[in-house]
Structure 1
Amino acid sequence: MPNWNDVLTEIAAEAQTHGDMAQDLVRRKYLAQLSAHTGRNTIAYYSGWLASNPNNPQLYVNDGDKNAFMTVVHGCEFEKGLDLILHTPGGDIAAAESLVDYLHQLFGSDIRVIVPQLAMSAGTMIACSAASIIMGKQSSLGPIDPQIQNVPAIGVLAELDKAAADIKEDAAKLELWRMIIGKYHPTLVVSCEQAVKWAKEFVESSLKTVMFAGDGDAEEKSKAIVEFLSDFDSTRHHSRHININRCKEIGLKIVQMEDDDTLQDLILTVHHCYIHAMDNGRVAKVVENDRGTAHVRLNVN
């Protein structure tokens, strides 16, 4: 299967006769081949955040994505299940939860998430709602710590815990911590607590009812995974990349794409196609199915 440079060469060759349609033609060809190989409906959900202005809200999981999925699920043979290719920095918890609920209503529990490179934050929450996650050596998930007003909620709560511990140990540190904590709006702390609780409940429920459905120890497995993904001491930072080996260690049901050479080649070829499409910074997000139906959002300067 084509590598990064091969895909670029193929797009350039197609452009000689098809112009601006070349990227679409090449990308859709390989997405259809991936679906034919698995025998499953395949939907790609790609954000262009790696090559775009990060201040664009369209790059992140949001309620507008529901319209995109309503478009691309039309005509799906739902009994064949769904492979969702996910490349996203995350976004709104409510939007992610609503999207997961919608897909489960259509496909039941027969959903696999494929992570060619990165599915972070709310993207990790979506991945944890699947029956299994296909990852490679280059793939990563992230912590599920929600962001409140662009501040990591778990980080805020950890800072408050540290303040309490420091002041208890040395009362002279009260004034220092007063200045630091004074930057927080009174309602921010409560919002952070609720957001963290919400994220944990969402992921734990998804794991228990889908990934570990029928397992006698589903609750214990789910709690352990959620605790790791939401533990500030374990993950250290919102952008922490959690690789395939660590994902296996914490108990997630991971399928290693390298175990099927054809599957791996097809997934990575599709991934290269989408990254090429987004490298110029024009495309904010693409949601596309294996039959060539797409919902595209462009970056606006």
Structure 2
Amino acid sequence: MDWGNLILLFFVISSLIPMIKQRGVETERIRLIRSIEKKRGSRVITMIHRQESMSLLGIPISRYINIEDSEHVLRAIRLTPPELPIDIILHTPGGLVLASEQIAYALQRHHAKVTVLVPHYAMSGGTMLALAADEILMDENAVLGPVDPQLGQYPAASIIKVTKEKDINEIDDNTLILADMAQKAMRQVENTIYNLLVDEIPEEKSRELARTFSEGRWTHDYPIKVDELKEMGIPVKVGLPKEVYELMELYPQPAGRRPSVQYIPIPYVIPGKEKPRS
């Protein structure tokens, strides 16, 4: 074998290794998903949006809830018997309102119990999905977020505020049009959240919560913690199966850059606090 063939073989092997490695990761993900399903007697659906090493031309692709996600989740729900509970594991910054609403209403219409599991965060559209569930299980440090709509780079609530604080003759037509769209978007999201909550929570409380989540009282990335959610009357419980955390480890950030956080990945035991052996 000459040098040319050796170089060609090297490039072929180098291109196959990432594919083989990714296939192994996907197999391990499926194993863990099946393990959670057997333990909880449910169908597990994951929606985990984080950058992975498989990216476009080496550039990590930003992930969020989109129409493709809604198509896949709706298909998974259709394939689930009405009497089988659904567990959906969420890790997402949010995404398109249309896609989030489609998934949320499909989860609400499922006859059996729907549980959302949040190991780290489910913001914006992810919070909308959580509010559609019968039960929300969260890590004690996990958060949800506001569901106030955004128009381009601006919060809808802030656009409306401009039109209330400035003389209409000093506002350009483009801003007035945006304000009209912002009002419609906020009304749409508020009605959606109300519809998702009203079957489980009294009507007046559902209206109040719908306004709280959609009116723009916080910045869009405000973290709503477990204690705050409980005070609002949202059915939140703390505690996740250990397999959920193991599954999250199989969705790594892009390789090829120095990690900013490092630790020895084993549980530590305080001396003198060891568990007795059986």
TM-score class, shorter-chain normalisation, is 0.7 to 0.9
Letter of the 1:251 partner, please give it.
G
The structural deviation recorded for 1:254 is 0.5
Q: Runs of 5+ in structure 1 lacking a partner? A: 1-14, 168-173, 213-217, 258-262, 282-301
The structural deviation recorded for 1:280 is 4.3
Cα RMSD (Å): 3.1
The structural deviation recorded for 1:155 is 2.1
Aligned position for 1:27: 29
Please state whether the residue corresponding to 2:137 is helix, strand or coil. strand
The structural deviation recorded for 1:65 is 1.9
The total of aligned residue pairs comes to 235
CA displacement, residues 26-75 of structure 1 (integer Å, 9 cap, x when unaligned): 2222222111111111100111269989xx99722222223222454464
Name the CA shift for 1:20/1:45 in 2 (closer, same or farther; >3 Å): closer
The structural deviation recorded for 1:159 is 3.7
Letter of the 1:154 partner, please give it.
A
Please state whether the residue corresponding to 1:273 is helix, strand or coil. coil
Contact 2:105–2:132 under 8 Å retained in 1: no
CA displacement, residues 87-131 of structure 1 (integer Å, 9 cap, x when unaligned): 1111222222122233344x2262111111111111111111111
**What TM-score, normalized to structure 1?**
0.68
Question: How does 1:181-200 map onto structure 2 within 5 Å?
Answer: 181-182=171-172, 184-200=174-190
Percent sequence identity is: 24
Task: Pick from 144, 147, 152 the counterpart of residue 155 of structure 2.
Answer: 152
For residues 67 and 201 of structure 1, what CA distance do their matches in structure 2 show? 23
Aligned position for 1:266: 243
For residues 86 and 154 of structure 2, what CA distance do their matches in structure 1 show? 34
Question: How does 1:89-238 map onto structure 2 within 5 Å?
Answer: 89-105=93-109, 107-108=110-111, 110-161=113-164, 163-164=165-166, 178=170, 181-182=171-172, 184-209=174-199, 211-212=200-201, 218-233=202-217, 235=218, 237-238=219-220
Task: Pick from 33, 37, 40 the counterpart of residue 38 of structure 1.
Answer: 40
- Bigger strand fraction: 1
Aligned position for 1:6: none
Name the CA shift for 1:118/1:72 in 2 (closer, same or farther; >3 Å): same
Letter of the 1:102 partner, please give it.
A
Q: Runs of 5+ in structure 2 lacking a partner? A: 1-16, 257-278
Aligned position for 1:65: 69
Task: Pick from 225, 233, 240 the counterpart of residue 243 of structure 1.
Answer: 225
- Bigger helix fraction: 1
For residues 150 and 224 of structure 1, what CA distance do their matches in structure 2 show? 27
Task: Pick from 234, 238, 245 the counterpart of residue 256 of structure 1.
Answer: 238
Contact 2:155–2:216 under 8 Å retained in 1: no
Name the CA shift for 1:129/1:74 in 2 (closer, same or farther; >3 Å): closer
For residues 137 and 183 of structure 1, what CA distance do their matches in structure 2 show? 47
For residues 147 and 220 of structure 2, what CA distance do their matches in structure 1 show? 8
Letter of the 1:158 partner, please give it.
K
Name the CA shift for 1:152/1:35 in 2 (closer, same or farther; >3 Å): same
Name the CA shift for 1:128/1:61 in 2 (closer, same or farther; >3 Å): same
The structural deviation recorded for 1:252 is 0.3
User: Which region of structure 1 is more displaced relative to structure 2, 131-140 or 193-202?
Assistant: 131-140
Letter of the 1:143 partner, please give it.
P
Please state whether the residue corresponding to 1:44 is helix, strand or coil. strand
For residues 155 and 109 of structure 1, what CA distance do their matches in structure 2 show? 39
For residues 280 and 80 of structure 1, what CA distance do their matches in structure 2 show? 38
Please state whether the residue corresponding to 1:80 is helix, strand or coil. coil
Aligned position for 1:7: none
Please state whether the residue corresponding to 1:241 is helix, strand or coil. coil
Contact 1:125–1:144 under 8 Å retained in 2: yes
